[in-house]
Chain A
Amino acid sequence: MKVKHWVKRKLLQFIAFGCANPHVSNLPTGRLYGGKWKQFCNPGLNCYSCPAARFACPVGAMQAVSGSMDFKFSFYAAGMLLAFGVILGRAVCGWLCPFGLFQELLHKIPSPKAGLKKCFLWIKYVVLVVFVLLLPILATNYMGMGKPAFCQYICPAGTLEGGLLLLGTHPELRQTIGPLFGLKAGILIGVILGSIFIYRFFCRVLCPLGAIYGFMNRFSMCHLEVDPRRCVSCGACHKACRMEVDPVKKPDSMECIRCGDCVQACPKDAIYVGFRGKAGNKQSAAGNGRASLVKKRKENHV
């Protein structure tokens, strides 16, 4: 029996969610897991202040080190991100990220669906540079310690998994609620509403991990290939892509999360996502053929 592609992906996403948050017994008490696994980074966005979390969030780890008194850059977190990126690229977003799964589930709520203007896609790069890389180093206190600016001012995963859960279990923390938490709660509500109407709203607009892994898409071992000999330029892949990527024009698009929806939609079995080229070593052929495919598609449209 062949398991459907979307079932496989959803299953893996839930397994990844479970692996990132196995300490469910901590939820009623609000006690954080304090074992050795917490020094390792999770590939996807998952707040380390969540009582159920086993691993550290890579964005939080990056800011924690670069905001510390001793160091101004985290080679460890950068190395982890680079390693995940080289192996998987944005397949991390599509298959392993807990917050990505949360947004996909929200998008299943019946409602009118909308696309996203391309100009919004650049915001996440600004967020990465300003809030994750620069502010923790530049905005320091008298001790030379920087703030985890992305976590503090933006991260909706932290508000949901850390803030709200801990407020529920620690009544004394409720006295610390102020305008900052109001801002973060507003961002979380915005992200939830945005994700209902727009597919993976946060991943595409705000997520610094999406920005990093998107950049790594062109180098990653997990890649997307289009076989130019099979492709008939019907455009079915482009229509099927909920990230609004055209795999024929841009197989290495920074927005492609390697979900494989285009593979399923292709009537000619011309698209491959994985670690080895289905069409043999045809990357160069695909590269050469891409221009002719785009030309062919333009002719079809004319």
Chain B
Amino acid sequence: MRMMMALIACGFILYGTVRGEMEIVWNKAVHICLECIGLG
């Protein structure tokens, strides 16, 4: 079960990376997001 979950985790990270999710995360994280901190 542990092995299977580790493989699923790797698969998810790989798939997410390939479809460009890391860029969305980076883009959100490097700019001040007013709604993220309860402002605006």
Interface residues, chain A, CB within 8 Å of chain B?
32-34, 36, 38-39, 41, 47-49, 53, 56-57, 60-61, 64-65, 68, 70-71, 74-80, 82-83, 85-86, 147-148, 151-153, 158-159, 162-163, 166-167, 170, 173, 176-178, 180-181, 183-185, 216, 219-221
Contacts and interface: CB of A to CB of B under 8 A. Distances in A.
Contacts of A85: 5, 9
Interface string B8-32: 1111111111011111111011111
Contact of A76 (B12, B32, B37): B12
Contacts, number: 149
Contacts of A221: 2
B30 A38 contact: yes
Contact of B35 (A47, A78, A152, A220): A152
A53 B8 CA distance: 28
A74 B38 contact: no
Contacts of B17: 76
How many interface residues does chain B have, given as a range? 35 or more
Contacts of A184: 37-38
Contacts of B5: 82, 85-86, 216, 219
Contact of B39 (A47, A76, A78, A181): A181
Nearest to B16: A76
Given A80-B13, A86-B6, A219-B2, 19 more contacts: A32-B30, A48-B29, A56-B28, A56-B29, A74-B16, A76-B12, A76-B15, A79-B11, A79-B16, A82-B9, A83-B9, A86-B9, A152-B36, A162-B37, A166-B39, A176-B34, A178-B39, A183-B38, A184-B37
A48 B14 CA distance: 22
Contacts of A220: 2
B30 to A, nearest CB: 4
Nearest to A75: B16
B16 A32 contact: no
A148 B22 CA distance: 17
Contacts of B12: 75-76, 78-79, 82
Nearest to B6: A86
B24 A163 contact: no
Given A79-B12, A82-B9, A83-B10, A56 B25 contact: yes
Contacts of B2: 86, 219-221
B9 to A, nearest CB: 4
